[in-house]
Structure 1
Amino acid sequence: MSLVIELVVYGEPVPAARPRFNRNGHAYDPSKSRAYKQYVSLEASKQYHGDLIGRKQLVVRIAIYRPIQTSVSRIEHARRAQNIHRPIVKPDTSNYVKLIEDALTGVIWEDDNCIVDLSASKYYSDDPRIEVTVTEAGGMK
């Protein structure tokens, strides 16, 4: 049977921030990114109870649902809720992806280098969250 893992992590998504450096030159994650990464790892471990995935080729689909700002008009709110208008502002999609890949390392997979196909999308929603679907790569051409 084919591998399918579906995770939903509720709450406002947080992108990976640039590492900071202490006085000794050691890099560390800023606190907001570090806390969200720990939260995603914890929520994933509550939802996934299988073995750590090692030597399998994985396809990962990530959907990022950012909150709709309260300052927009009702018409614009409706456009965003219906995905007519999607986020084209910072943070970049890739910054969300990196944090999610890192958070799931050691929970879902041994190393994110097993991801051979990746897609990610940003949306607005009144229910901010991330959704991650992991499947095993089939015989792709």
Structure 2
Amino acid sequence: MRFVIPIEPKPQTRPKFSKFGAYEDPKMKAWRKQCSELIEQIYDGPFYDGPIKVDVIFYMKAPKNIAKRPSERSKNRTKQLYSKFVARLLWHFKKPDIDNLVKAVFDSISNAGYNKIDKKGIVWSDDNIVCDLRARKLYSPEPRIEIEIEELGEWAKQ
């Protein structure tokens, strides 16, 4: 099952602490809520509760020096970077860390359509069923998150 979440990827933030205890950044909370709502609207696949394989691609917003169309007088390197950016072939190797991006989107998927009685969402029972994971970060003119989920057999590969 493949689906696209049309939202700019954001990394999971660390909890903040005050004299009243720990709390989550309100911007992160709002992003996860929006992401979960988008998933509820677009997801029409099966429910997973066994071992799964997940392939996720984070298409990140590019800085202006890459995203801006080069002029005719620009250097060849600049033109090459721009053409790779437009073709979505340019790796995003800066912050944020990929594990924090995965954590934020997996939490959003787990919360999408969460039913307090059954204690499960509409995509999977919990993100602990992910046994095989591939995650990538690329620059793109259209920031988004693409996810592909595949059911695995109950037994491990030999």
TM bucket (normalised to shorter chain) is: 0.7 to 0.9
Query: Is the 2:48–2:151 contact (alpha carbons within 8 Å) kept by the matching residues of 1?
Result: no
Residue 69 (structure 1) shift: 1.9
Going from structure 1 to structure 2, the CA distance change for 1:24 and 1:107 (only over 3 Å counts) comes to farther
Residue identity over aligned pairs, in percent, reads 30
Give, in whole Å, the separation in 2 of the partners of 1:49 and 1:67: 27
* Corresponding residue for residue 100 of structure 1: 105
Query: Which one has a larger percent strand, Structure 1 or Structure 2?
Result: 1
Instruction: Return the letter of the residue paired with 1:123.
Output: L
* Corresponding residue for residue 55 of structure 2: 61
For 1:136, which of 148, 151, 155 is the aligned residue? 151
Secondary structure of 2:58's match? strand
Going from structure 1 to structure 2, the CA distance change for 1:32 and 1:77 (only over 3 Å counts) comes to farther
Alpha-carbon deviations, 1:65-118, whole Å to 9, x = none?
001222336322223233443111000111100001111112311211111111
RMSD over aligned CA atoms reads 1.9
Aligned length: 135
Higher Cα Rg, which structure: 2
Which sections of structure 2, spanning at least 5 residues, go unmatched?
71-78, 111-120
Residue 7 (str. 1) matches residue 22 (str. 2): no
* Corresponding residue for residue 88 of structure 1: 93
Residue 38 (str. 1) matches residue 37 (str. 2): no
Instruction: Return the letter of the residue paired with 1:125.
Output: S
Query: Is the 2:58–2:145 contact (alpha carbons within 8 Å) kept by the matching residues of 1?
Result: yes
Residue 52 (structure 1) shift: 4.3
Normalising by structure 2, what TM-score?
0.76
Residue 119 (str. 1) matches residue 134 (str. 2): yes
Which sections of structure 1, spanning at least 5 residues, go unmatched?
none
